[in-house]
Structure 1
């Protein structure tokens, strides 16, 4: 880990020594290729972008949009239900350990974002810490996965709306949902906070109902959850869950909790950002973990039969039918459909800011970057970039679902690995005078996170079923590096500026 940190530290120092101001570094760059919002700084000041987005979100508004993108209800019903069927009561330990790992990663996000509160999410943080080559690789990961995740979510809407509206075609339903979500994402950010907040209230109420139904019909003590057991395919009864199964349950939990880093996408729209953005990340992570573990535990404690629950095709829906009846189940499943739509809106918001930030940094050719940095005068939203990402999501809806799942399955661990490395490198370069959040228990959070991510990679390499997904993730990252070194690095007119955003509140 120390060798990698030293490599990135040296690489970034060399890059920054050649990038002082737009005038110093890009004397040959014409005015037409300069990104929107770059100002000429005083000789002794670091160059910055002008803030062109609306800095109108408080911590609460940021958290509402971020939680909407995570969609805890969708995670419980879809990912949590699948985990119950495979890992049984091992879900409790698996998701609890995953919660600890997620908090460690959240610490890294919080510290990085408080130092570099720039729209663009992982791309912006990694670029400004590990250097532009790694940043472009992470940009390619997000550029591919965000619209594909929107497509995956949208293709699942018909399954849940279908309990109330029969005959829905999954593809056409997905296309309509993506168009509506993209249009909503082009509205004012505060309007989006209200819209997503209303939807979020509905899905959190559904999770609250699951919790109450489980706790008022307790069938077993909580101690039963501490003994990991899953369905034995041979006997149909419960059998101890092995270490390998428990580790896989942890990876499922990490994926289920993913999305709290999405708070960083809205850094340029968050008030008092250097203090607020860390709180937004940590609150989003904490609420997500609690909102998923508690209902899942309540379901296992309150079901009449654990073997019947784990053997059901849809365990969470089966529990609802058992304890609340069909009418309530239909209502909750429609609520889950709304939660999925809400998540699509929130991810569309993130996607637009990713492309906007990369275009402003000149990580794209000028012909592409110029329209993508346009911001609406009325809504202060990067509407062109948002629409372009929406079009990519529409195209993703036409791709077979298994292809989409393979294309997004292993990218999360790579992204988390870059974030943990970035946190280590940034702290190594710190002088002690920087403002912003500093994670507790340094250097344990990034170090333990890297160990956990390494274990996930080892499991993936040993499991032939994951080779295709891993190969796609490696291919995306390799393409990003090839694009940087083969095209971007040598072109001053399209070379990354990697400036932070100038604002009196930043």
Structure 2
């Protein structure tokens, strides 16, 4: 045997590895279905249709049909990238874990910074937005007070057993999909125009208040809106170490979550475009989807559906809180943080196998973020998704050339999925550069990425022997292939 190899085999474990070996691990208690339930809940297709879809209808008119279909294709290509990476590296931690292993620690830490900032801010955005929908039944709700209560309750719920959370989010998700199904039925039973009218994109020109052809640039911007509306299917990766046979199951969970989301959003939006009594009236409404719902079903049904959307948003907050806790726990377990922080944040409860300290910490950050004005929160999170997707696509492009583990998922049509995804994301970033209104959001995202690289170079790289210590190949194989030793 080579002397260097023998020395490597006999090297004593590092303090970080000893600490990790002694601690309880996340338990494998989810099947593919449970993972998909939580992931779909974090996406919240119903709130995407009402909020992002409604805003797109106002701005891009019938162009929403083509835009969301094209965005669906792009999203599925990105899902292929996630699926292959997650199958190769079945480790909790989301984008951070995948990018670290495929592109190296510098890109991984930059991705960690993106998620560390964006996840609690998104929790705050959703929490502050709940009052808009609960307000239809309870007048005078304070967005701040409501947001604080909802985020706090969601954080507590996220500290429960992962299987209990899967059941709970599943119940809320059923209500959410019932609301989407109602929208689709209302539109398709009262079709006012031929589907062929959707093939020529038109929008309501505010200068003339009449319908006009939508330019190609407008359609591309609408595609961007669609990509953001579908965002979240990669969240399945956060639960890799809690899903049975993860190296095979997570790929299925990612792709299923993406396909279900695309269908769940495209179908009701198409139904609304076909069933609205007047397209100018629909596009001119302040809240197009709510306006269509009230027109077709009346005030009572509309009230019930809006309350269902409030539940959908609360459900999304619970699911994202689960993801946020796994992100911080994984980074702490890897010693990507100072030791004084890593020790408590990497703890998992012995009974429920939940990273309670990490989950509660992210919840506290989200509670503090609720005091930030909504427009600032939206600006701070506006461009972060683009950089996350860009790193994932690049990671998939680089990683595909490595030898795959037996039974691991391999994306079809390689290298088309990552290349197309990268081109689209670069196009989104370019469009932001050309729009002065997006400069601040883009600058914040670039600053977050730069801070991640700087933190790695200045703090982690000089401490490479004790910090950022990843799972070894044997531990990753056990995590992915269904080992139950720690369950």
Q: Does 1:477 align with 2:460?
A: no
2:482 is matched with 505
1:37 is matched with 20
Q: Does 1:486 align with 2:458?
A: yes
Q: Please, which of 319, 325, 329 is the counterpart of residue 302 of structure 2? A: 329
Counterparts of 2:408 and 2:425, CA distance in 1:
26
Q: Does 1:360 align with 2:333?
A: yes
1:5 is matched with none
Give the direction of change, closer, same or farther, for the CA distance of 1:234–1:58 in structure 2 (3 Å limit).
same
Contact map agreement 2:380 2:444 (CA 8 A) in 1: yes
Contact map agreement 2:49 2:269 (CA 8 A) in 1: yes
Q: Does 1:399 align with 2:396?
A: no
Which deviates more from structure 2 when the two are superposed, residues 455-464 or residues 297-306? 455-464
| Superposition deviation, residue 273 in structure 1 | 1.1
1:298 is matched with 271
Q: Deviations over 1:159-214 (max 9, x none)?
A: 00000011110001000000100000000000000000000000000000000000
Contact map agreement 1:127 1:498 (CA 8 A) in 2: no
Give the direction of change, closer, same or farther, for the CA distance of 1:433–1:196 in structure 2 (3 Å limit).
closer
Contact map agreement 1:366 1:494 (CA 8 A) in 2: no
Counterparts of 2:424 and 2:152, CA distance in 1:
38
Counterparts of 2:178 and 2:65, CA distance in 1:
22
What is the SS of the residue equivalent to 1:239? strand
Counterparts of 1:359 and 1:86, CA distance in 2:
43
Map 1:359-378 to 2 at 5 A.
359-378=332-351
| Superposition deviation, residue 38 in structure 1 | 3.6
Map 1:91-170 to 2 at 5 A.
91-170=64-143
Which deviates more from structure 2 when the two are superposed, residues 454-463 or residues 276-285? 454-463
2:387 is matched with 414
Q: Does 1:444 align with 2:430?
A: no
Q: Deviations over 1:424-449 (max 9, x none)?
A: 11112x23554310000111100111
Map 1:422-437 to 2 at 5 A.
422-428=395-401, 430-431=402-403, 434-437=406-409
Contact map agreement 1:366 1:493 (CA 8 A) in 2: no
Counterparts of 1:484 and 1:37, CA distance in 2:
22
Contact map agreement 1:152 1:401 (CA 8 A) in 2: yes
Counterparts of 1:386 and 1:303, CA distance in 2:
44
What is the SS of the residue equivalent to 2:442? helix
Q: Deviations over 1:290-321 (max 9, x none)?
A: 00010000001000000000000000000011
Contact map agreement 2:24 2:347 (CA 8 A) in 1: no
Gaps of 5+ in 1: 1-16, 40-49
Q: Does 1:88 align with 2:65?
A: no
Give the direction of change, closer, same or farther, for the CA distance of 1:432–1:205 in structure 2 (3 Å limit).
closer
What is the SS of the residue equivalent to 1:301? helix
| Superposition deviation, residue 237 in structure 1 | 1.1
Counterparts of 1:434 and 1:466, CA distance in 2:
44
Contact map agreement 1:57 1:269 (CA 8 A) in 2: yes
| Superposition deviation, residue 354 in structure 1 | 0.1
What is the SS of the residue equivalent to 2:462? coil
TM-score by length of structure 1 reads 0.91
| Superposition deviation, residue 36 in structure 1 | 3.8
Counterparts of 1:142 and 1:222, CA distance in 2:
40
What is the SS of the residue equivalent to 1:37? helix
1:217 is matched with 190
2:236 is matched with 263
1:12 is matched with none
TM-score by length of structure 2 reads 0.95
Counterparts of 1:494 and 1:226, CA distance in 2:
58
Map 1:185-264 to 2 at 5 A.
185-264=158-237
Contact map agreement 1:181 1:341 (CA 8 A) in 2: yes
Task: Say how many residue pairs are matched.
Answer: 474
Counterparts of 2:128 and 2:96, CA distance in 1:
27
| Superposition deviation, residue 458 in structure 1 | 1.2
| Superposition deviation, residue 378 in structure 1 | 1.6
Gaps of 5+ in 2: none
1:11 is matched with none
Counterparts of 1:115 and 1:130, CA distance in 2:
13
Counterparts of 1:249 and 1:344, CA distance in 2:
26
Contact map agreement 1:215 1:302 (CA 8 A) in 2: yes
| Superposition deviation, residue 494 in structure 1 | 4.5
Contact map agreement 2:203 2:283 (CA 8 A) in 1: yes
2:428 is matched with 456
Runs of 4+ in structure 1 over 6 Å off? 20-23
